[in-house]
């Protein structure tokens, strides 16, 4: 499959852990089957939702391998390779394909904030030159504090190895400019902002990367299909419903704590995360009610 033509729903998968902190391979399998059977068109492990920047290299390797095994070639696997510097990113990029990933997803470097556009372009150029698998750029400046600018993206867009862009900036004006670049170069553009999913696809985005697609993948697929068919009324109504289910992320301080509770309620995995916060009984009750109210369970 030419991933430049990827279309549809790409859930950024939550990462299930055993009590000892190792990756729960059975939980990964449960989540993968759950989302694929309900319409997911691809899988994005080790992204922000999946605590990707928090994983040890051992955890990351186990997660990518487990996801690829569970996918069994049914949909492509986009492995998050989110790290602070070029050497650390390249370490993951060079392993991803061997672990079964079909593509890698790369943010600009982060932690240090003095990177300019030339630095970020050089970062991607090095990865595009060396990566054994296709590359998806990932713009999420609220986390990296280093944005992939429209000008910077345009300077790397001609590379045949660059197959897509995931924009989670939430900046609608920037998104539209990035969309123009993607259309010019035949690159898939994926909207990472849940609240802008329907509008982005109506405008021509290739797909969406909704976190709620972990626990309500059917809704994510219905929203995408309605917008892709140009049905404005239906897609806006489904976006309204998506806003309700997205309330789960705000029940706890760390969104993935709440997300994992939702999956636990559904019997898919445990609730352990990379942070010490645990949901209270009242928070768990609230999450269950949102799942019931939105038809996720």
Pair 269, 16: CB distance under 8 Å: yes
For 162-183, how does the pLDDT look when each residue is reduced to its tens digit (9 = 90+)?
999 999 999 999 999 999 999 9
For 242-283, how does the pLDDT look when each residue is reduced to its tens digit (9 = 90+)?
999 999 999 999 999 999 999 999 999 999 999 999 999 999
Q: Which domains does the chain have, with CATH numbers?
A: 3-237 (3.20.20.70)
Q: 101: helix, coil or strand? A: coil
Q: By C-alpha distance, which of 127, 194, 136 is closest to 165?
A: 136
d(CA 196, CA 133): 29
User: Mean pLDDT, the chain, as a whole number?
Assistant: 97
What is the mean pLDDT of the segment spanning 11-36? 98
What is the mean pLDDT of the segment spanning 55-75? 98
Residue keyed to tokens 């990035």? 178
pLDDT at position 166: 98
For 135-163, how does the pLDDT look when each residue is reduced to its tens digit (9 = 90+)?
999 999 999 999 999 999 999 999 999 99
d(CA 70, CA 142): 32
Q: How confident is the model at residue 292 (pLDDT cuts 50, 70, 90)?
A: very high
pLDDT at position 128: 98
pLDDT at position 94: 97
Pair 76, 44: CB distance under 8 Å: no
Pairing of strands 8-9, 78-80: unpaired
Cα separations in angstroms, 173 against 35, 186, 204, 258, 278: 31, 20, 14, 31, 37
pLDDT at position 1: 74
Q: How confident is the model at residue 84 (pLDDT cuts 50, 70, 90)?
A: very high
Query: How open is the CA angle 116-80-84, to the nearest 5 degrees?
Result: 40
Q: 232: helix, coil or strand? A: helix
pLDDT at position 295: 96
Does pLDDT of 37 surpass 80? yes
């Amino acid at each position: 499959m030419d991933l430049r033509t990827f279309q549809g729903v790409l859930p950024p998968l939550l990462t299930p852990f055993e009590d000892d902190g190792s990756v729960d391979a059975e939980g990964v399998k449960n989540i993968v089957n759950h989302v694929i059977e309900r319409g997911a068109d691809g899988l994005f492990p080790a992204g922000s939702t999946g605590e990707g920047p928090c994983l040890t290299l051992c955890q990351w390797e186990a997660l990518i391998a487990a996801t690829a095994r569970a996918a069994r070639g049914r949909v492509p696997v986009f492995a998050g390779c989110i790290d602070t510097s070029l050497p650390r990113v390249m370490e993951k990029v060079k392993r991803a394909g061997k672990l079964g990933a079909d593509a890698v997803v790369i943010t600009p470097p982060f932690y240090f904030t003095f990177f300019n556009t030339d630095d970020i372009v050089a970062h991607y150029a090095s990865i595009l030159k060396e990566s054994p698998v296709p590359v998806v750029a990932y713009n999420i400046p609220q986390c990296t504090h280093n944005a992939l600018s429209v000008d910077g993206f345009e300077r790397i867009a001609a590379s045949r190895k660059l197959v897509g862009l995931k924009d989670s900036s939430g900046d609608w004006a920037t998104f539209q400019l990035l969309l123009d670049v993607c259309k010019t170069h035949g690159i898939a553009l994926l909207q990472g902002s849940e609240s802008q999913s329907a509008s982005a696809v109506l405008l021509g985005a290739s797909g969406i990367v909704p976190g709620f697609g972990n626990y309500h993948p059917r809704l994510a697929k219905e929203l995408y299909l309605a917008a892709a068919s140009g049905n404005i009324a239906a897609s806006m109504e489904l976006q309204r419903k998506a806003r309700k289910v997205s309330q789960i992320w705000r029940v706890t301080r760390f969104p993935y704590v709440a997300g994992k509770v939702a999956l636990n309620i559904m019997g898919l995995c445990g609730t352990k995360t990379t942070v010490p916060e645990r949901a209270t009984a009242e928070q768990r009750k609230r999450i269950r009610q949102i799942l019931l109210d939105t038809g996720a369970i």
